[in-house]
Amino acid sequence: MVAGERLDFDDGVALLETDDVLALGELADLARRLRGGTDEVYFVQNLYVSQTNVCRVKCKFCAFAATRKQPHAYTLTTEELVEDVLRQREVTGFTELHMVNGENPHVDFAFYRDTIAALHAALPDVHLKCYTASEIHHMTTLSGLTHEEVLRELRDAGLGSLPGGGAEIFADRVRRIIAPGKEPAEIWFHVHDTAHRLGIPTHCTMLYGHVETYEERVDHILRLREQQDRTGGFLAFIPLAFHPENTVFERRGWRHTTGVDDLKMLAFSRLMLDNVDHIKAYWIMMGMPLAAIALHFGADDVQGTVVREEIFHAAGARTETEQKIEQLVRFVREAGRIPVQRDTLYNELRRWE
């Protein structure tokens, strides 16, 4: 690795099998620096929204989706969504809107396109990071359009980038077990490949810690690396630990990944993905203390900060978001790094030296 050679499949398996976690972290941190990484650690102010949780797919790991008849099912109109987002913007200065949804079979493509156009008109300076590859594919089945046609229309309406969800684990064996209704990996790649060629950057993920083997994790990461070699459009990689709560896996006694698993995955990702600039330690999921350690295991981004706020905060109270930023800044500094607030495309907005 120090000699600049690419790690291969067997190297990847060996990294995951090692018990020497500290050495792995050190190697990952060295790799990050050798590829131009500095002491900067990024975060973005983003708001998470979802317009509908109605979904036809029924992935077994999902605790979010509902059928239309279930009492907790919801589908917001474009107007309701824009109103909600504008209310949040009054109290939190987010620069990115992160929206993913269920694959709702009861809407049409205009629902998505008009939503993007309305959000863009209402918040022209906010980056719209919306719709996973699975949702883009869903729009092609709703409309009869191609991936390229759907992405062009959304881009022209104001879409800025795609989040990385829907990747799960690419191996067919795993997809058949955890998400049998979801399209094969080739579709995920085709959507991202098309987006990159249209100038739409995207993100990539891996959902780990369920039925997959180490070999299947390595296969997943190598497929992402090959795609990045072809098009270079991935902004960041986000390893997502599987959370069994409220899924069939919880009833089967499954447990969370351990902190050591999560650190290993970050280091492994940094070492294998030598062509993706940013690796995220998703602090909302791992908690800040572990995310701070992750900064020494190859991660250079701790993801978003915005929490939903009530309007009374506007009257002068310190918002929960501001408190989160202060907490985040403190943790990053205590880890010996420089906190940098960024926009979605990694342009610097503010730094704390």
Q: Catalog residues that contact ligand SF4 under the rule CB under 6 A.
A: 55, 57-59, 62, 64-65, 102-103, 134
CB of 65 to ligand SF4, least distance (A): 4
Q: In whole angstroms, give the CA distance from residue 183 to residue 172.
A: 10
Structure tokens that stand for 160 in this block: 């800025």
Q: Which residues face 208 on adjacent strands? A: 241
Q: In whole angstroms, give the CA distance from residue 323 to residue 339.
A: 15
H helix or E strand, kind and range, residue 47: strand 46-49
CB of 330 to ligand SF4, least distance (A): 34
CB of 164 to ligand SF4, least distance (A): 13
CB of 171 to ligand SF4, least distance (A): 17
Q: In whole angstroms, give the CA distance from residue 343 to residue 268.
A: 26
In terms of CB distance, is 102 or 244 closer to ligand SF4? 102
CB of 168 to ligand SF4, least distance (A): 8
In terms of CB distance, is 58 or 197 closer to ligand SF4? 58
In terms of CB distance, is 38 or 70 closer to ligand SF4? 70
Give the side-chain half-sphere CA count within 13 A for 326: 6
In terms of CB distance, is 57 or 82 closer to ligand SF4? 57
In terms of CB distance, is 131 or 234 closer to ligand SF4? 131
Q: In whole angstroms, give the CA distance from residue 333 to residue 245.
A: 33
Q: In whole angstroms, give the CA distance from residue 245 to residue 221.
A: 26
CB of 162 to ligand SF4, least distance (A): 14
> At 93, phi and psi to the nearest 5?
-85, 55
In terms of CB distance, is 55 or 117 closer to ligand SF4? 55
CB of 195 to ligand SF4, least distance (A): 18
End-to-end CA distance of the chain: 31
Which residue in 71, 6, 1, 3 sits closest to 275, CA to CA? 6
H helix or E strand, kind and range, residue 339: strand 338-342
CB of 73 to ligand SF4, least distance (A): 12
**Which residues have a Cβ under 8 Å from the Cβ of 5 and sit 6 or more positions away?**
none
Which residue in 289, 323, 318, 290 sits closest to 306, CA to CA? 323
Q: Dihedral of CA 204/302/304/39: which sign?
A: negative
In terms of CB distance, is 55 or 200 closer to ligand SF4? 55
In terms of CB distance, is 156 or 172 closer to ligand SF4? 172
Q: In whole angstroms, give the CA distance from residue 180 to residue 353.
A: 48
